[in-house]
Amino acid sequence: MTMETRRQFLSTLGASCLASGLLDSVPMIAEESQTARSATEGFQPIEPPEWVGQISRMSYLTPDAVPDVAKIGVQVVHGNAVWPYFPLRKDGGGLSESDRLLLKRFTDTAHQHGMKLVLGLPPFPSVDAMLAHPEWRIQPGGNEFTQPTPLEDNLGTRLACNNGPWGEYLIEVCAELMEDFGLDGYSFDGNYHPPICHCVACREAWRSFAGEELPESANLEELSYRRYLVWRGERLENHYSRMQKRLKGIRPDAVIMTWTVNAGRYGHFLHSPRAMPTRMNLLIDLPMQEWWLDETNFGGSIAPWFGAEYLAAVTGYRYCGCEPYLMSRGNPYSPDSFPAQERMIRSLGVLAHGSTTAHSVGWTWGVAGAEPVFSETKIREPWILNAKPIPWAGILVSEQTRQFFAWKDIAERFLPHVFGMYRTAMEEHLPVSLLNDWDITDDGLRPYRVVVLPNSAALSESQLSALRRFVAAGGGLVATAEASLCDELGVARNDFGLSEEFGVSYAGKSSSAVNPSELDENFARSLNDEYWRNRVGAGVLTLMPDSPLINQPVRELIPSLNARFKGPSIRVTEPEVSSDIHARFRIDGEPGIPDQPAAILRHSGQGRVAYFPLAVDAAMWSYSYPFLREMLANGIRWAAGEPPQIKIRAPRCVQVTFKTRLNSDGVSETILHFFNNVNSTAHAGLPANDVPLRDETIAIHGIEVHVSTQYKALLTSSKARIQPGDRAVESVLEDGELIYRLPPLEIHFMLVLE
């Protein structure tokens, strides 16, 4: 049978919903939001077995390839062999004899070679199961929706709802297979939730929970549907919690290592309504994602590296796996002419961002192509396993904001802000972690010097309270644009929820109209209407001369302290203290309207707040000027109140991540990952289609690490070592800092400080 991928599965769900009119738009909601009760009280993340923390090398393969991947050091194999059978073994069913022998050979061979086997089980009922239990099927519309005849060669005709009896049946199939064959765990190419389902089980469960009928359609305009989507996600979490309990009851070291579709890949960010909540990643022992760097996923930008980091973040920086897709192009899809060097660069890059290496041996060069990657991964294991980010700045990636505030245009209203903020941190080599909505608590914020809200519009009252206490106690806060303007379901407040901390109130969106005659005639001749549509939000930004947003690079880039800006902006009231304004903005096409505040820097309680009504973060993704990076980074440093204790001097193509871990002797180590992301052929092709396909590496020289006096006192030795290779790096004491001058960086190495 032909396997269906996650992309096909999600497309099938979306197509069936479109066919029944489920995703049509209606006017914006006006009713007041009331947060839905939790359908799974007392959410608890799963505690992965200890062996999961020792895994850095996984492979996807067919059963016959097991002996070959054992030779190259693979620790966990993933593969398909059988499908869910019907009926259950205990009811007289089970696998066919040929399937039973195949799965036994697959399992035994993996275990004989010292590897774990995670069975890829397609979460689709058989045709016989569908005919026997039509009530199991997803019902996208009401009673008028006609279900197709279930077919063996069309998975779209066999979509079942895991919110009812099928979910329980799937759990029991997994339990029987684990008991019979000694499987180590499962992955599912699917097993998410549809945008909406009107099956009997869903109707009854929602009626019991909410006391009302299901929403008629998957319509994010309707507040009732937003509440439903939260509930349906929690029901999916409950399904996975029950599955984990059942499997770990059979063998405590059993795992679910399945594919996530809401953890960082560009295309997944755009999928709306979502097919799983981000929090569900905490119920997976090791979530995995197909990690794409093709042109459809902006592979030549910061987007894929943000995606790799975000996957780690949604697991609480525990365990996760990125499979670098070795596609040279995505439109049309093609792995042709993919350089081995690019494979190595991508693989070492995900290690730097907190993920393990996962490779399919079905790509070009098969097992031989994967061997060098696994070899380089293995020698890095002592420093990549069980490492956590060093907390200094935390950037909130708000799923509530993505799904309930920005859903109409996620690519414009959400992603530019988080991408631009992360790009700034990477290029300025700041120690950053990514935070989730559930991290915005007193305990979650406490380790950080500064918390960043990149247009994090949808925040609950409990999140706002935690942020207020964090700032009052001395924490730093950086926010942009419409941060805190809505509740957690995306319904607008009358003002910013953090208006007292910002020192201003919301006064509406900016608008602009541009007259084409303003441009030089020779320039304007080559422009079309699209140019003028894209110029909305352009204007002149003016920085105040004594602002901490200004440093020497800013003065060199814009000596007059006036510069063009293009990006989102909103209007706010004037603050009570005029000196809190550190930049103003005059938008094009609005004569007679005074310059609006563009940057507010102020003290609040014992903390500092930098609020930018001008979305400098979004501009750093969509239309950046170099001074914007400096300005935004200076705002983060100012709000933090003190600089990072470890500072990096390196070209901006070098990505640096800051980690800490306990080594085998129980000694705390600081581990700085240095990753060379330079592309020697970048910007030579059509920008929209340019992707990294590197067949060479340009070594980076002159990298320095500066350790503060305060941090120096924590070190057991002033010496450091480059790993892998165990090369000693001597330090020099200058102006109270320890300075380490590093050797040339090829692709990736780590500086280890004890």
- The counts of H helices and E strands in the chain are 24, 31
Alpha-carbon distance of 63 to 286, in angstroms, equals 22
278 domain-assigned: no
Domain boundary among 608, 628, 643: 643
Alpha-carbon distance of 160 to 143, in angstroms, equals 16
Give the helix ranges, DSSP H, for 125-187: 127-132, 165-181
pLDDT at 144: 67
Question: Do 442 and 540 reside in the same domain of the chain?
Answer: yes
192 domain-assigned: no
Question: Do 580 and 546 reside in the same domain of the chain?
Answer: yes
Question: Do 652 and 638 reside in the same domain of the chain?
Answer: no
Determine the average pLDDT of the residues in 213-221.
96
List the single range of 7-16, 225-234, 315-324, 506-515 with lowest mean pLDDT. 7-16
Question: Do 482 and 625 reside in the same domain of the chain?
Answer: yes
pLDDT at 482: 97
Q: CA angle at residue 22 from 18 to 25, to 5 degrees?
A: 100
The domain in which residue 706 lies consists of: 647-753
Question: Do 670 and 606 reside in the same domain of the chain?
Answer: no
pLDDT at 143: 65
Question: Do 633 and 667 reside in the same domain of the chain?
Answer: no
CATH of the domain at 498: 3.40.50.880
294 domain-assigned: no
Model confidence pLDDT, tens digit, residues 236-258: 999 999 999 999 999 999 999 99
Determine the average pLDDT of the residues in 129-138.
96
Q: What is the DSSP string of 616-660?
A: HHHHHHHS--HHHHHHHHHHHHHHHSS--SEEEE--TTEEEEEEE
Question: Do 446 and 538 reside in the same domain of the chain?
Answer: yes
pLDDT at 628: 97
Domain boundary among 643, 659, 679: 643
Q: Which residues of 385-406 are buried (b: 16+ CB within 10 A; e: fewer)?
A: eebbbbbbbbbbbbbbbbbbbb
Percentage, residues of the chain above pLDDT 70: 90
336 domain-assigned: no
Q: Which two tokens stand for residue 139?
A: 């019902």
pLDDT at 594: 80
What count of Cα atoms within 13 Å lies in the side-chain half-sphere of residue 532?
16
| Mean model confidence pLDDT for the chain | 91
Give the helix ranges, DSSP H, for 517-562: 521-524, 529-533, 552-557
List the single range of 36-50, 367-381, 527-541, 554-568 with lowest mean pLDDT. 527-541
Percentage, residues of the chain above pLDDT 90: 81
Question: Do 498 and 448 reside in the same domain of the chain?
Answer: yes
The three-class DSSP label of residue 212 is coil
List the single range of 481-485, 531-535, 574-578, 682-686 with lowest mean pLDDT. 531-535
Q: Is residue 749 scored above 80 in pLDDT?
A: yes
Q: Which uninterrupted H or E stretch holds 147?
A: none
- 333: pLDDT confidence band, cut at 50, 70 and 90? confident
List the single range of 31-35, 213-217, 302-306, 469-473 with lowest mean pLDDT. 31-35
Omega of the bond leading into 125 within 30 degrees of 0 (cis): no
Question: Do 458 and 511 reside in the same domain of the chain?
Answer: yes
The count of other CB atoms within 10 Å of the CB of residue 709 is: 12
Question: Do 483 and 525 reside in the same domain of the chain?
Answer: yes
Q: Are 671 and 387 in contact (CB under 8 A)?
A: yes
339 domain-assigned: no
Q: What is the DSSP string of 554-570?
A: HHHH-TTSEEEEES-BE
User: What's the pTM value of the predicted model, to 2 decimals?
Assistant: 0.93
pLDDT at 5: 43
688 domain-assigned: yes
Q: Are 418 and 397 in contact (CB under 8 A)?
A: yes
Alpha-carbon distance of 619 to 621, in angstroms, equals 5
List the single range of 302-311, 564-573, 693-702, 705-714 with lowest mean pLDDT. 705-714
Total residues belonging to the chain: 754
CATH of the domain at 679: 2.60.40
Alpha-carbon distance of 370 to 623, in angstroms, equals 38
Q: Which two tokens stand for residue 209?
A: 């929970």
pLDDT at 534: 59
Those residues whose C-beta lies under 8 Å from the C-beta of residue 612, and which sit 6 or more positions away, are: 478, 479, 480, 481, 598, 599, 600, 632, 635
443 domain-assigned: yes
Beta strands in 270-342 (DSSP E): 288-291, 321-324, 329-330, 333-334
Alpha-carbon distance of 517 to 69, in angstroms, equals 65
Those residues whose C-beta lies under 8 Å from the C-beta of residue 730, and which sit 6 or more positions away, are: 718, 719, 740
pLDDT at 719: 79
Alpha-carbon distance of 668 to 383, in angstroms, equals 11
Model confidence pLDDT, tens digit, residues 255-269: 999 999 999 899 999
Question: Do 618 and 722 reside in the same domain of the chain?
Answer: no
pLDDT at 589: 77
Question: Do 568 and 582 reside in the same domain of the chain?
Answer: yes
Model confidence pLDDT, tens digit, residues 499-550: 999 999 999 987 655 555 455 555 555 555 665 455 568 899 999 999 999 9
pLDDT at 11: 44
pLDDT at 334: 87
Phi, psi of 568 (to 5 degrees): -65, 150
- 357: pLDDT confidence band, cut at 50, 70 and 90? confident
Domain boundary among 612, 643, 674: 643
Determine the average pLDDT of the residues in 76-98.
97
Longest distance between any two alpha carbons in the chain, whole Å: 82
671 domain-assigned: yes
Q: Are 543 and 549 in contact (CB under 8 A)?
A: yes
Which residue in 431, 503, 501 sits closest to 466, CA to CA?
501
Q: Are 45 and 185 in contact (CB under 8 A)?
A: no
- 709: pLDDT confidence band, cut at 50, 70 and 90? confident
Q: Between 648 and 684, where is the model more confident?
A: 648
| Sheet bearing 654-662, strands edge to edge | 388-389, 654-662, 668-676, 748-753, 720-723, 727-729
Those residues whose C-beta lies under 8 Å from the C-beta of residue 96, and which sit 6 or more positions away, are: 85
Those residues whose C-beta lies under 8 Å from the C-beta of residue 528, and which sit 6 or more positions away, are: none
> Into how many domains does the chain fold?
2
- 149: pLDDT confidence band, cut at 50, 70 and 90? very high
What count of Cα atoms within 13 Å lies in the side-chain half-sphere of residue 8?
11
